[in-house]
Amino acid sequence: MTEASVVICADTLDRWDDLNAAIASVRRQTCPAREIILVVDNDEALLERARRGIEGVVVTPNTNVRGLCGGRTTGAGLASAPVMAFLDDDAIADERRLDELLMPYADPRVLGVGGRLEPLWRKPRPSWFLYAENRLPGKPNPARGSLAFQKPRPSHRLSKSLGQTLAAQVGRIPRCVF
């Protein structure tokens, strides 16, 4: 079966307990991750605390553009497994999340998949929140919080054409791809 590296990006010490719950949920997977990579964006206190207090996790600063996109790109560059799965720092993965995200990769044409997110409300769901879509009005699809991509290989036609298209549009392949 295909293996995955799990990348978690965090940018605040204020969600320390949530971050640890996210990491614990990855460790409880029925299909273990090859590695867990924690990318810390722009918070030195969080970076130092994570390095001291979280064992068995690759902890690194974001070395790319600031924000989630740059953090995911940093994590993707460190991932050693053929698939990179992303989990938000305030999310708890169901124990079968990796199994379900990796299942479609039995088909070699699959380059990426998304998963379902179900909010764990600490208070009642706000009436203005779009119930069926689990998202805020006017905001993008929340599936970006549950993603997995194959690491690009030269044999992927989509990888080649996407890279060429981006290079033609901006003169170079951008540093931020997620």
Q: Which residues pair with 84 in a beta bridge?
A: 5, 149
- The encoded tokens of residue 24 equal 């614990």
For the whole prediction, is pTM greater than 0.95?
no
**Model pLDDT, residue 133:** 52
- The residues near 82 (Cβ < 8 Å, ≥ 6 apart) are 2, 3, 4, 150, 151
Report mean pLDDT in 10-residue bins for the chain, 178 residues: 93 96 96 98 98 98 93 94 93 92 91 76 71 50 66 55 40 41
On whether the CB atoms of residues 117 and 87 are closer than 8 A, the answer is no
The predicted structure's pLDDT at residue 129: 63
